[in-house]
């Protein structure tokens, strides 16, 4: 027994001694910057995972920091491949803010102006042209949620560091602590594309400016074996130097390539994938680039294999937890925006459980206001949840001049000039004045105080004018005693509204208010009668519910919308001595759904009716035409000319098939059907009858910087008439 114990003891001692004599070498991994070419890192990591190589430390710059940071947080290479293959490339490069993140007010303002310029002290500025990179930050933050509480990067599943550049001093900044997502984004803040990232009092940009291959940082941390992946460009030939950008990149590469000779010698296994011909923004070629990385790494199997262990293959997968309990929400002091405003934009409150998607949407809602030039967030662990810590930097620009132009066959040509002033009187407020010069002079003034979840207040004043032939059923019959079937009418509508609105069920806009309207209609073509046949003031109260999740206003592919309004006319100066109180209710619903690639089906239905003692015909539902900004109850309808059909009630169905023949160019076919008349909902029998009116259209549309350019050819089987309508620019 003693001999057995002695033998076992000697065996254990021998194993310990051998272990001490031959410890596993510490393996470091350095990943260079290179934009989309950095996706080749994933291909190399696939080979490293397959060999069971345990990486002890990662250092990365720019795209190398993003891939390396995600790997260090616990993802394996297969998961990284899956993540990057699902990324929306256009959204990534454009820092996309989805339309549904914008309030109704913000949607309107973003969808009628072709150009917006800062205006400060009577001097025009230029748009910054730099992206905040918030789409990228939101993405990286959600992907690193499982390590969001770690502040020392040595405590990550794999210790990690990345490199950034101090934009003021040009110094190299080594980032090995803090919020992982913020550090990764700072390392990849490419100059001329993304705004600098402010961290710890320093303004940081892409680390590739000073050190695009930080092998020395790994050496300083005592790593024994360093595997390096280099996706940087070499020097270009004179034939390849085309344009200022390539020349500037070449100048920056001079010093980098000079340094790389020493850096390469400091690397034990130096892997340089063959990715010539791919650009830094070629994310759409991601699968090819990843394959190139794997292909090159396989050439180094003999060199890599000794550091692997087939029993340690990295096939573990992070289980993504898609819920966060927000115990508290805090943010830095703001001069011009209240807590109610911030929380209202987030659309979630403290002590609430939310998904990562809800968090990202809330942050995008803040970004959509354009009131903040920088938005960062992090989490702090609390006893029974997380504290959301927001860092918001208010936009210094609060005054803007905006411009637009439009043509349609109703309002004719118009040039839009806008003056917008934020923080005019109170916190959270914005004032906006549109002046439209052209064939019909118009204006629109808005003042709005946004209080988020609480009741917000707004005031609107709007002047609408146009001139058009109208038919006899739109006005009192007496007007037409001396005319055949139509007269040319000048339309003047001045509406002033004061209203309150709030958020309902975190999605719907719910509100109501008071309106004072001046309505005047006159015609110089009338004979032997007063040319003015309406000149009354009207006082009304109204309520509304709205929802809109279309991805685009024009040519939407997904989403749905709903609008409903009820309005009661309480008083009139009664120019025609025929006013009695009445009300009008109306609603519309629509949705868009892609049926296959580039083909979208859109369904819309709407209706309305008047009720009360006796309605005024000028507030009837009037259908016909296309391509104009709607006013009162004037609605578009294919197959009939503008202002052709009228009644105090109507129901309408519109079906559209839109095919995007190539990017931003559309062919579409539409069919609409309607019943229009007086009291058509009075009996059940009239609800479900064959439509009295129908129309069809075939059109072409193009999305441009000034808005949609469309041409529509329309016809109706009832009248056999054909109409062609042309519209240019955003509708206003």
Print burial letters for 592-622: b (CB count within 10 Å at least 16), e (below 16).
beeeeeeebebebebbbbbbeeebbbbbbbb
Residue spans of the domains in the chain: they are 25-94+133-303, 324-394, 399-728
Say how far apart CA 364 and CA 374 lie, in whole Å. Answer: 12
Fold category of 25-94+133-303 in CATH: Cytosolic phospholipase A2 catalytic domain (3.40.1090)
Say how far apart CA 324 and CA 148 lie, in whole Å. Answer: 11
Question: What's the pLDDT score for residue 4?
Answer: 46
Q: Is 485 helix (H, G, I), strand (E, B) or coil?
A: coil
Q: Would you say 547 and 553 are in contact if contact means Cβ atoms under 8 Å apart?
A: no
Say how far apart CA 412 and CA 204 lie, in whole Å. Answer: 50
Say how far apart CA 685 and CA 473 lie, in whole Å. Answer: 24
Question: What's the pLDDT score for residue 690?
Answer: 86
The pTM of this model reads 0.83
CATH classification code of 324-394: 3.10.20.310
Nearest-CA neighbor of 217 among 28, 85, 480? 28
Domain 399-728 - what CATH class?
A: mainly beta
Question: What's the pLDDT score for residue 5?
Answer: 47
The segments of the chain whose pLDDT lies below 50 read 1, 3-21, 477-484
Which residues neighbour 6 within 8 Å (Cβ) at sequence distance 6 or greater?
none
Say how far apart CA 95 and CA 101 lie, in whole Å. Answer: 13
576-618 residue pLDDT tens: 777 889 999 999 999 999 999 899 999 999 999 999 877 788 8
Say how far apart CA 40 and CA 111 lie, in whole Å. Answer: 39
Say how far apart CA 62 and CA 206 lie, in whole Å. Answer: 6
């Amino acid at each position: 027994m003693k001999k057995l114990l002695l033998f076992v003891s000697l065996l254990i001692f021998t194993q310990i001694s051998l272990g001490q004599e031959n410890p596993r070498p510490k393996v470091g991994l350095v990943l260079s910057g290179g934009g989309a070419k950095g996706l080749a890192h994933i291909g190399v990591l696939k080979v490293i995972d397959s060999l069971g190589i345990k990486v002890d430390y990662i250092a990365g710059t720019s795209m190398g920091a993003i891939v390396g940071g995600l790997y260090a947080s616990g993802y394996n290479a297969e998961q990284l491949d899956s993540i990057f293959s699902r990324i929306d490339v256009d959204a990534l490069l454009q820092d996309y803010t989805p339309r549904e993140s914008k309030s109704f007010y913000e949607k309107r303002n973003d969808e009628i102006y072709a150009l917006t310029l800062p205006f400060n002290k009577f001097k025009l500025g230029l748009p910054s042209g730099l992206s905040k990179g918030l789409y990228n930050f939101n993405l990286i933050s959600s992907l690193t949620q499982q390590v969001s509480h770690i502040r020392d990067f040595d405590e990550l599943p794999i210790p990690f560091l990345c490199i950034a550049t101090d934009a003021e001093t040009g110094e190299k900044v080594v980032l090995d602590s803090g919020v992982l997502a913020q550090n990764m984004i700072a390392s990849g803040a490419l100059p001329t594309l993304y705004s600098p990232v402010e961290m710890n009092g320093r303004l940081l940009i892409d680390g590739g400016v000073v050190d695009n291959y930080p092998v020395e940082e790994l050496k300083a941390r005592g790593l024994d074996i360093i595997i390096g992946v280099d996706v940087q460009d070499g020097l270009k030939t004179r034939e390849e130097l085309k344009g200022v950008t390539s020349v500037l990149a070449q100048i920056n590469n001079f010093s980098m390539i000079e340094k790389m000779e020493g850096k390469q010698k400091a690397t034990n296994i130096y892997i340089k994938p063959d990715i010539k011909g791919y650009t830094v923004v070629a994310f759409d070629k991601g699968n090819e680039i990843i394959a190139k990385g794997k292909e090159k790494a396989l050439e180094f199997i003999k060199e890599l294999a000794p550091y692997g262990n087939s029993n340690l293959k990295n096939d573990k997968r992070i289980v993504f937890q898609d819920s966060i309990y927000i115990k508290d929400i805090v943010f830095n002091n703001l001069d011009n925006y209240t807590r109610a405003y911030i929380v209202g934009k987030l659309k979630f409150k403290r002590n609430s459980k939310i998904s990562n998607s809800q968090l990202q949407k809330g942050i995008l809602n803040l970004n959509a206001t354009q009131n903040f030039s920088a938005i960062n967030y992090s989490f702090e662990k609390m006893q029974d949840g997380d504290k959301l810590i927001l860092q918001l930097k208010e936009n210094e620009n609060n005054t803007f001049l905006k411009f637009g132009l439009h043509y349609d066959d109703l309002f004719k040509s118009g040039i839009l000039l806008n003056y917008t002033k934020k923080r005019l009187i109170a916190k959270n407020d914005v004032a906006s004045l549109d002046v439209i010069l052209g064939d019909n002079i118009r204006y629109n003034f808005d003042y709005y105080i946004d209080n988020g979840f609480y009741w917000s207040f707004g005031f609107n004043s709007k002047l609408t004018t146009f001139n058009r032939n109208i038919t006899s059923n739109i006005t009192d019959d007496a007007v037409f005693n001396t005319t055949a079937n139509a007269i040319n009418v000048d339309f003047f509508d001045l509406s002033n509204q004061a209203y309150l609105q709030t958020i309902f069920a975190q999605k719907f806009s719910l509100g109501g208010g008071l309106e004072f309207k001046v309505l005047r209609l006159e015609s110089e073509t009338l004979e032997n009668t007063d040319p003015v046949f309406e000149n009354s003031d009207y006082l009304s109260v109204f309520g509304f519910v709205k929802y809109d999740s279309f991805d685009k206003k024009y040519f939407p592919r997904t989403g749905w919308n709903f609008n409903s309004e009820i309005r009661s006319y309480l008083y009139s100066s009664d120019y025609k001595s025929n006013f009695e109180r009445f009300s009008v209710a109306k609603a519309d619903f629509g949705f868009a759904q892609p049926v296959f690639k580039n083909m979208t089906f859109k369904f819309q239905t709407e209706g309305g009716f008047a009720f009360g003692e006796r309605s005024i015909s000028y507030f009837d539902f009037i259908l016909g035409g296309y391509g104009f900004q709607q006013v009162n109850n004037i609605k578009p309808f294919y197959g009939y000319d503008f202002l052709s059909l009228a009644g105090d009630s109507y129901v309408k169905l519109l079906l559209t098939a839109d095919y995007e023949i190539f990017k931003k160019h559309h062919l579409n076919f539409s069919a609409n059907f309607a019943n229009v008349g007086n009291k058509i909902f009075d009996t059940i029998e009239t609800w479900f009858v064959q439509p009295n009116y129908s129309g069809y259209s075939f059109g072409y549309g193009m999305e441009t910087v000034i808005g949609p350019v469309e041409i529509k050819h329309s016809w109706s089987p009832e009248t056999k008439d054909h109409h062609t309508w042309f519209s240019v620019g955003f509708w206003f």
